[in-house]
Amino acid sequence: MPRQILDRLWERGRAFLGTDLAILGGAMSWISERNLVAAISNGGGFGVIACGSMGPDLLAAEIEATKALTGKPFGVNLITMHPQLDELIDVCGAAKVSHIVLAGGLPTSAAIKRAKDHGAKVVCFAPALVLAKKLIRSGADALVVEGAEAGGHIGPVSTSVLAQEILPEIRDVPIFVAGGIGRGEAILSYLEMGAAGCQLGTRFVCATECVAHANFKKSFIRASAREAQPSVQIDADFPVIPVRALANNATKRFMDFQQEVIARFRKGEVAKDAAQLEIEHFWAGALKRAVIDGDVENGSLMAGQSVGMVTREQPAQEIMAELVAQAEAALAARHGLIQKAS
């Protein structure tokens, strides 16, 4: 009975994704490659390859390798500011990728159209209600509403507020809620507010199938929510795009580094543009250093606040079964209450 109610609640999301569960594995650079993506899709969810900085040939190979591991639907996440975005969209088109997620800034109508002309369903990130409406006018087939609790690059508004602002207003397309979700009860509550499904990233990092280095996984298992902090900008003239990550040596050094660079700028030793670029380049290659090389002190440990709910390594399928069981138990408890009251 609870499962039937759950299936009714996320039916729109399941139909859109073509899956048993309306759970998206949020694309994570270096982490969401063939193994984790296939494991999530084979487990009933919807895996998404993170293209990140891959070029067209590497992406084509990753898509083929994923297809070899799963016959279930999966998607590809492309970063809109990638210099070869058009070619990457065409690679997805040639490989008949069913869903393309356009992330990292607002995609142009042209990029959305290019993806749709290939027959793909296009998913975009909506950081505010006006932008959600704009993206739908531009042709987005579904939206992800991701709040500041999430791991990686974040906006300023929390998931709970964004969900309240956007879910009651948008009925045209399915909406998936992301950011800070670690348990099934939270998924259920967003479904009850009108979401079609949810997207989780942090919770999948310690999946057995995930190729992240053992040190990276250990950092997640040890960490509590308060350690997943946004990067700090120290000077209004030198913007820093906020990224939520576990505090480590690198996050401390980033503060000193900004101070040094800005001091050199103030002394006239470096131009403003060059100083800004130096600050932006501080994190270049840092996620790979932590995820692949296991350097958890000098790399970037991008993680969301739900990291405190990551307690052990377990198969992706088991993670999703746990989430579903928690949602079902919450529904059963409510049903019991309703029966008692009547």
Ligand X SMILES: Cc1cc2nc3c(=O)[nH]c(=O)nc-3n(C[C@H](O)[C@H](O)[C@H](O)COP(=O)(O)O)c2cc1C
DSSP state of 227: G
| Extended strands (E) in 148-249 | 152-153, 175-178, 197-200, 228-230, 243-246
Q: How far from each other are the two terminal CA atoms of the chain, in whole angstroms?
A: 18
Chain position carrying tokens 């109508």: 109
Per the CB < 8 A criterion, the answer to whether 227 and 247 are in contact is yes
304, 319, 320, 330: which one binds ligand X (CB under 6 A): 304
Nearer to ligand X, 200 or 324 (CB): 200
Residue 66 near ligand X by CB under 6 A: no
CA distances from 15 to 9, 21, 29, 87, 239 (A): 12, 10, 27, 29, 41
Residue 149 near ligand X by CB under 6 A: yes
Query: Among all residues, whose Cβ is closest to ligand X?
Result: 201
Residue 97 near ligand X by CB under 6 A: no
Nearest to 46 by CA among 330, 332, 320, 324: 320
Residue 197 near ligand X by CB under 6 A: no
Residue 210 near ligand X by CB under 6 A: no
Nearer to ligand X, 288 or 334 (CB): 288
| Closest approach of ligand X to the CB of residue 59, in Å | 13
- C-alpha atoms less than 13 angstroms from C-alpha of 282 in its C-beta half-sphere: 25
Residue 303 near ligand X by CB under 6 A: yes
| Closest approach of ligand X to the CB of residue 274, in Å | 27
From the list 83-91, 92-100, 174-182, 274-282, the region that binds ligand X by CB under 6 A is 174-182
Chain position carrying tokens 């006239």: 268
Residue 174 near ligand X by CB under 6 A: no
Residue 13 near ligand X by CB under 6 A: no
| Closest approach of ligand X to the CB of residue 214, in Å | 16
Count CB atoms within 10 A of the CB of residue 188. 26
202, 219, 231, 248: which one binds ligand X (CB under 6 A): 202
φ/ψ (deg, to 5) at 99? -135, 130
Nearer to ligand X, 27 or 262 (CB): 27
Both tokens assigned to 127: 């950081």
Count CB atoms within 10 A of the CB of residue 296. 22
What is the Cα Rg of the chain in Å? 20
Nearer to ligand X, 231 or 306 (CB): 306
From the list 9-17, 167-175, 301-309, 330-338, the region that binds ligand X by CB under 6 A is 301-309
Nearer to ligand X, 17 or 103 (CB): 103
Footprint on this chain of ligand X (rule: CB under 6 A): 26-29, 31, 50, 52, 77, 103, 146, 149-152, 178-181, 199-203, 302-304, 306
